[in-house]
Chains A and B, each alone.
Chain A
Amino acid sequence: MGLSFLLFYISAAVAITTAIMAVTRKNASHALIYLVVTLLSIAVIFFLLGAPFAAALEIVIYAGAIVVLFLFVVMMLNLGRSSVARESQWLRPGMWVLPAILSGVLFIVFGYTVLQTENSAMIEGQVVPPKEVGTVLFHEYLLGVELAGVLLLAALVGAFHLGRRYLEERREN
């Protein structure tokens, strides 16, 4: 019981709040900013859970790369003020009800079941340092890394094919 304990719950609360904000914002840029906050608080939690390397990657790659990619697209597609108006038109409260109920029920079922667990396991925050992660990653999971490479290659080729056409045809216009 200490600071980290408290920190966990605060971060969790922040993550949840900002996640909700992120999915409900009308302005795409705002939403992305909220998402970044979510990611940051998750990074904090990672750190608390004893995974500093994951926390770093969360910030570097997720917040740093993926969200930025999103932002590029948002800007490229020019989702400005008009899109905000459109979003408010699309986001009718009536539409929220069923999804909300479904999510709620899922959560209740999940929660009820998990809470039935007796002698629950505690996370002591044992730190697994990056070095150890690296060792295992490039030893036991070496082939996994290779496969991740192929995965990225596939994504690269795919994104190239899909995106290139766009560029070329714009040039033609």
Chain B
Amino acid sequence: MKLATMFQAGLPYLVLTGGLLVVMIGVAIKRTHAVAAVLTIVTLIATTLSHIVAYSALGDGAVQIDSMFKIDGVAYLFNILFLLAALVVAFLGSEFLNRRIRFKEEFYLLLLCATLGSLVLPAAVHFASLILGLEIVGISLYAMIAYPEKARPPLEAGLKYLVLSGVGSTALLFGMAMIYAGSGSMEFANSLPSDGSIEGQYFYLIGNAFFWSGIAFKLSLVPFHIWTPDVYHGAPSTVTAFLATVSKGAVFAVVLRYAIEGNVLDSGNVQFALSVIACVSMVIGNLLALLQTNLKRLLAYSSIAHMGYLLIALLIVESNSALGYETLILYLVGYFLMTLAAFGVVSVLSMNQEQELDSIDSVCGLLWRQPIAGAVLIVSAISLAGIPLTIGFFAKYYLFYAGIDGGMWTLIGALVVGSAIGIYYYLRIVFTAIKRPAEDAEAMTGLPWTGLGILAFLGLCMLVFGIYPTNLINLIQNVVQASGF
């Protein structure tokens, strides 16, 4: 591979890293929030745009950089998705920081670091790049979660995430070590023991058990889900939005590649374990959310369920990897939109408050008190429930299609059950939002227009893609096919 091609393909990474450095230097020279914010946003936009330039380098297929990275169209799609999400977070975050935080600039550095980490993952084809990408996101997030100075919940959330994530990471690492010991390679493509000796198999299997446990932690799948609500709850909503979307999406992107290149699912046992995890995640996640009264916790539990749904996309890759990628990307697009919107609403509403307005009662009558935020919240709840006119429906449709394509009837059953439970609490959000507001409900004024604008945009996207997803689907399908899946 020619060096120039590699540079061109890696351009987004370079731009982002460069931007990161520029922001850091800028901050070092003079602390100005506006400058930092603008620089960050410019960096993110530039990185997004740089994919256009970089895409031509891919030619027909992928660009392999050393043994650690394989950059292809799919990775770019993920990248753009993550970058756009990061952009939303940056916009929301700038308002949030502006109004509630004293020391603002480091946030952008952490955000850019986390974004870089998440961009690493979709292209990773090696355990080293996997763990490094994962940990860059993780380390940045610890600090981002605990970012506010005075309140106790963010700190508690940060600590919990750090300790538990530490345990998760060690499990992941230990698993990798065992897989490596079994197979002799840390590249995904060679990670299956080639000689098929029993010895290798056992190391390999135990390794996978540890590995997937670690991954399940990162994806907050049952039974490794238990930290999720606390961390989502404690973190500032803006950060939660990032945590719930980009960090999950990135992990999915990488494990999907691992599953495809490493043929992990050839092992019936691993497949079985993952199926069980998927099933219980769908059901338990939804059950946990059922009567939850805290909006952020509720969304956290629901994200557990959504991660369970998404495992279908992972499990299908064994028989139909293209469909798996398609499902994953489309679902993530939908999931990103709705999750960002939902947490975005909480974030925007809490802008002027000391404490986050995260109780479900605080959105009572929102549609009438604050029409844009209310409408977006309703649309995102409907979308999360997978009801038509919203992207969530097509996302769920893809899952059904993938599930049926793979003949995973148990999972489809769990998906139906899970969705059924889910409708209940999503509708509760909707119902609360359209209720007649309490008499003494204070008027919500002075909400930032940027925030509301972003929300409106997200809501609109959900609806537009929910009615005419054809272009999006075609794009995804073309890119996935071009990437050789």
Contacts and interface: CB of A to CB of B under 8 A. Distances in A.
Interface of A: 110, 113-114, 116-121, 139-144, 147-148, 150-151, 153-155, 157-162, 164-165
A159 B142 CA distance: 10
Interface string B71-113: 0000000000000000000000000000000010010011001
Contacts of A119: 197-199
B202 interface: yes
Contacts of B129: 143-144, 147
Q: What 10 pairs across the A-B complex have the smallest Cβ distances? A: A158-B143, A154-B113, A147-B132, A161-B106, A117-B199, A154-B140, A154-B139, A157-B109, A144-B128, A117-B202
Given A154-B139, A155-B139, A118 B113 contact: no
B114 A140 contact: no
Nearest to B202: A117
A155 B136 CA distance: 8
Interface in B377-410: none
Contacts of A113: 202, 205-206
A153 B140 CA distance: 9
Contacts of B203: 114, 117
Interface stretch (B29-37, B62-70, B239-247, B322-330): B62-70
A87 B15 CA distance: 50
Contacts of B205: 113
Nearest to A141: B128
The interface residues of chain A, by DSSP majority, are classed as helix
Contacts of B144: 158
B120 A147 contact: yes
The interface residues of chain B, by DSSP majority, are classed as helix
Contacts of B198: 116-119
A148 B128 CA distance: 10
B465 to A, nearest CB: 33
Contacts of A157: 24, 106, 109-110, 113, 140, 143
B149 A154 contact: no
B472 to A, nearest CB: 31
B135 A160 contact: no
B140 A158 contact: yes
Nearest to A144: B128
A151 B106 contact: no
B44 interface: no
A160 B106 contact: yes
17 contacts: A110-B206, A114-B206, A116-B202, A117-B199, A118-B198, A120-B199, A140-B66, A143-B65, A144-B132, A150-B113, A151-B132, A151-B139, A153-B20, A154-B113, A158-B144, A160-B106, A165-B103
Interface string B187-203: 00000000001110011
A153 B28 CA distance: 14
B199 A162 contact: no
Interface in B36-69: 65-69
Given A153-B113, A157-B24, 6 more contacts: A117-B199, A119-B199, A140-B66, A147-B120, A154-B136, A158-B110
Nearest to B67: A140
A150 B136 contact: yes
Contact of B136 (A117, A151, A160): A151
A133 to B, nearest CB: 14
B202 A161 contact: no
B113 A162 contact: no
B180 interface: no
A112 to B, nearest CB: 10
A143 B9 CA distance: 14
Nearest to A116: B202
Contacts of B106: 157-158, 160-161
Nearest to A120: B199
B147 A161 contact: yes
Contacts of B116: 150
Contacts of B69: 143
Nearest to A146: B17
B146 interface: yes
Contacts of A117: 198-199, 202-203
Nearest to A142: B66
B117 interface: yes
B226 to A, nearest CB: 15
